[in-house]
């Protein structure tokens, strides 16, 4: 089975998407040919798109941008569509792992609809995937401690997905939140993310809260 694993985060540095894809790969049985690809800010060259079109499975990982797909991924999908139609890829299955900054993974539902519609247009099977909320916490943790930590449900969903991928079986969509209360998420985000970021950029809380 040839599997294309695409990280479509436009971030040039380490991405939360990458951490989730690494965790998924750890659970895919040995013996499959996995082609890992980082999209970056531009689309792939035509030769790479043609290679992807000959794979059996595509797993696209990406961050939610304004309730939808980042524009680099959108451009790539438009270009890939032609290659897929030329290859007659009716047996190909496409899964998505989408992570978003807000707490609720369900925020990714419109992006999943976009992927699903694109699959119908490109003539490939939509396999579902995972919509994960609280994505920036994954990056803060640096390493994915899925089994026991805040993302244990995610770990289980990744294992289920990894077992279905070699069969090309549709798995449905799992929307997941971090395993701790929403108010704590707000507190941690304010104190460990937004305020330090504001300070780093030379802003004081007073200035942020002041009227324009």
Ligand X SMILES: Cc1cc2nc3c(=O)[nH]c(=O)nc-3n(C[C@H](O)[C@H](O)[C@H](O)COP(=O)(O)O)c2cc1C
What are the residues binding ligand X (CB under 6 A)?
9, 11, 15-17, 63-67, 99-102, 107, 135-136, 139
Least gap, CB of 7 to ligand X (angstroms): 8
Least gap, CB of 197 to ligand X (angstroms): 12
Distance CA 191, CA 212 (A): 23
Least gap, CB of 190 to ligand X (angstroms): 15
Distance CA 34, CA 162 (A): 12
Closest residue by beta carbon to ligand X: 135
- Closest CB to ligand X among 87 and 136? 136
- Closest CB to ligand X among 109 and 169? 109
- Closest CB to ligand X among 7 and 84? 7
CA 210 to chain centre: 36
- Closest CB to ligand X among 15 and 93? 15
Residues 23, 56: contact at Cβ < 8 Å? no
Least gap, CB of 94 to ligand X (angstroms): 18
Least gap, CB of 131 to ligand X (angstroms): 10
Least gap, CB of 106 to ligand X (angstroms): 10
- Closest CB to ligand X among 78 and 110? 110
- Closest CB to ligand X among 9 and 93? 9
Closest of 165, 192, 16 to residue 93, by C-alpha:
165
């Amino acid at each position: 089975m040839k599997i294309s694993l695409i990280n479509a985060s436009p971030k040039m540095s380490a991405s939360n998407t990458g951490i989730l894809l690494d965790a998924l790969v750890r659970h895919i049985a040995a013996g499959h040919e996995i082609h890992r690809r980082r999209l970056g800010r531009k689309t792939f060259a035509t030769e790479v798109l043609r290679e992807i079109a000959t794979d059996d499975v595509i797993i696209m990982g990406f961050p939610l941008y304004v309730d939808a797909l980042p524009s680099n991924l959108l451009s790539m999908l438009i270009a890939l569509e032609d290659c897929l139609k030329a290859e007659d890829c009716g047996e190909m299955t496409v899964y998505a792992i989408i992570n978003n900054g807000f707490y609720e993974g369900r925020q990714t539902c419109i992006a999943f609809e976009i992927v699903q519609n694109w699959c119908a247009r490109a003539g490939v099977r939509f396999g579902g995937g995972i919509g994960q909320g609280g994505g920036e916490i994954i990056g803060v943790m640096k390493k994915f401690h899925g089994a026991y930590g805040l993302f244990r449900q995610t770990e289980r969903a990744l294992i289920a997905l990894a077992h279905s991928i070699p069969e090309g079986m549709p798995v449905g969509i799992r929307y997941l939140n971090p395993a701790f209360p929403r108010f704590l998420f707000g507190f941690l985000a304010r104190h460990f993310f937004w305020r330090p970021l504001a300070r780093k950029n030379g802003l004081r809380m007073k200035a942020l809260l002041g009227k324009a």
